[in-house]
Amino acid sequence: MSETEVGSQLEGTRLGVRPVSIVAQDVHVDYRVYEESRITARTLFERGFRGRRSTHVHAVRGVSFEARIGDAIGIVGANGSGKSTLLRSIAGLQSLSAGTMKVRGEVGLLGVGAALKPKLSGYRNVMLGGLALGLSTDEVERMMPEIIEFSGLGEAMRRPMQTYSAGMKARLAFSIATLRIPDILLIDEALAVGDRDFKRRSLQRLTEIRDQAGTIVMVTHNLNEIKQSCTRAIWIDQGTLMADGDVESVLDEYEQRSDQ
């Protein structure tokens, strides 16, 4: 029986030990991927009118780990290794096939495809994002100068989002996601399209979140980002947890295997 639990459900541990925020126990995620809906009549006939073919994908295979408040964990692995699927499982957006995922507190997921309204201005997107996070209009207004400065968008905040470059959208999405610090912040390649200066400011912001006793789990192919902002690393390969430990040792092992 699979189970995903999101909420304040995990108890603190003994005195002097940081409370656990995430517990993944033997997590499995599998699903079917179907081919394109358009197939020719000839192909359909050759298949005996059986319709579209599908492929079974076992994206996450028996992954277990714990995270504690104050942890900043970087997840590495090749494309298609199950990193993003695992992140969505933590967020409660991906059903488990087996195992359990228990999460303590509010979870925020920030990805390159963060939901923004393309026809609205950057300003309006910030306002709507802040309200969705539970902030009042006055609170968002007070924070607006800081948001504009952090994002570096300036006068572009008045323009529709559909006129923004990918980097501008990423800067705005990150600014919105960190308006109100969640207990657990999940980041899926959200810094990949930002410029160098924005990445520097973002990594500083992640350090602030971690120091304020939040938990960060980030997926990225940029190993330097993990070295700069994470306290721990996890390596996933073909859905299987290969290594979990301090950043230097896990990344060394991952890079050695990747070079083979």
Q: Please tell me the distance from the alpha carbon of residue 217 to that of residue 74, in angstroms, as a whole number.
A: 6
Closest of 22, 60, 26 to residue 182, by C-alpha:
22
Q: Please tell me the distance from the alpha carbon of residue 226 to that of residue 215, in angstroms, as a whole number.
A: 14
Q: From first to last of its 260 residues, what are the pLDDT tens digits of the chain? A: 444 554 444 554 444 678 999 999 999 999 887 665 566 666 655 665 555 567 888 999 999 999 999 999 999 999 999 999 999 999 999 999 999 999 999 898 876 555 689 999 999 999 998 888 888 999 999 999 999 998 899 999 999 999 999 888 888 888 888 888 889 989 887 666 567 788 788 888 888 887 876 899 999 888 998 998 899 999 999 999 999 999 999 999 999 988 76
Assess if residue 5 is contained within a domain: no
Assess if residue 139 is contained within a domain: yes
Assess if residue 148 is contained within a domain: yes
Q: Please tell me the distance from the alpha carbon of residue 237 to that of residue 217, in angstroms, as a whole number.
A: 17
Assess if residue 64 is contained within a domain: no
Q: How far is CA 167 from CA 25, 151, 152, 220, in A?
A: 36, 10, 11, 16
In what helix (H) or strand (E) does residue 169 lie, and over which residues does it extend? helix 166-177
What are the residues facing 245 on neighbouring strands? 233
Assess if residue 211 is contained within a domain: no
Query: What is this structure's pTM?
Result: 0.78
Q: How many folded domains does the chain comprise?
A: 1
Assess if residue 91 is contained within a domain: no
Contact (CB, 8 A) for 60 and 239: yes
Residues of the domain holding 120: 114-179
Assess if residue 138 is contained within a domain: yes
Class of residue 63 by CB neighbours under 10 A (exposed 0-12, middle 13-18, buried 19+): buried
Assess if residue 164 is contained within a domain: yes
Contact (CB, 8 A) for 125 and 147: no
